[in-house]
Amino acid sequence: MSTRADAVPGRAQGQKAYQAVFLLGLGLYLAAFGAGLGYALKAGRHLPGIDAHHLTLADDLARRGELKGATREYRMATVLDPNDEEAARRLMDLEARQGGKASAQVDFYTRQRDLQPLNAASHRNLAQALYASGRYEEAVAAYSAALHLEPRDARAHAGIGEVRLDQDRLDEAAQAFTEAIARDPAYAPAHNGLGIVAALKGDQAAAVAHFEQAERLQPGVYADNLTKARAALAGAGPSR
């Protein structure tokens, strides 16, 4: 009994040839894509559009309450583009909501750093995870590694400031925040950090000035700190 394909002379052979060519082309495409992805990861570059796709998908999954799937997609977004600080922040927040251990975040970002040792953002992301887990000196070392690769990285300088602030090493914190502003005068978190240092030292006038600058740069983000500093300056409330 002949099949429909066999009923037409040469049709079966033609279909087989077509399938072989299609599979060969698909294999070459996947190999090229895999090579490009591997190169991008090693070189610390990202593939335009692909990381954004994972971030959008992660946001959608998080809204629907599918937290494990969202975590997976946020992780992929940060792997494809380590410079995407928003994806890294959302990942850490989501894992914290799920009761995730800080050590798991450190392990994840350590692997990411090992994949992209020449990318400053991978060191900075690891530093943030180390800081969140209370491993302060290791966090400073990771921020310093980021600065070795990108000396003008205001975020890494400010990160060191945050660590020193938590350690109550106020002079070192102020120096780090000042370094951050020297690199990027519009980096609001560094102005906020200087405001906190000033408030803790009892200089409420300076605190108000720094918080006002931070609030001008990012309206609404530092309003609470500014209100407290103004109240403290007037002698009617706490400084922090």
Q: CA–CA separation, 17 vs 72, rounded Å?
A: 39
Clarify whether residues 91 and 129 are in a common domain: no
Clarify whether residues 157 and 225 are in a common domain: yes
In a domain, 37, yes or no: no
Q: Tell me the residue range of the domain where 107 lies.
A: 101-139
In a domain, 34, yes or no: no
DSSP assignment, residue 220? T
Clarify whether residues 114 and 168 are in a common domain: no
Q: Which residue among 69, 85, 100 closes a domain?
A: 100
Clarify whether residues 174 and 196 are in a common domain: yes
**CATH number for the domain that contains residue 172:** 1.25.40.10
In a domain, 36, yes or no: no
In a domain, 233, yes or no: yes
Which long-range contacts (C-beta less than 8 Å, at least 24 apart) are formed by 36-41? 40/80, 41/79, 41/80, 41/115, 41/116
Summarised one tens digit per residue, pLDDT across range 163-222 is 999 999 999 999 999 999 999 999 999 999 999 999 999 999 999 999 999 999 999 989
Number of domains in the chain: 3
Summarised one tens digit per residue, pLDDT across range 87-143 is 777 777 766 666 556 677 888 889 889 988 999 989 998 998 898 888 999 999 999
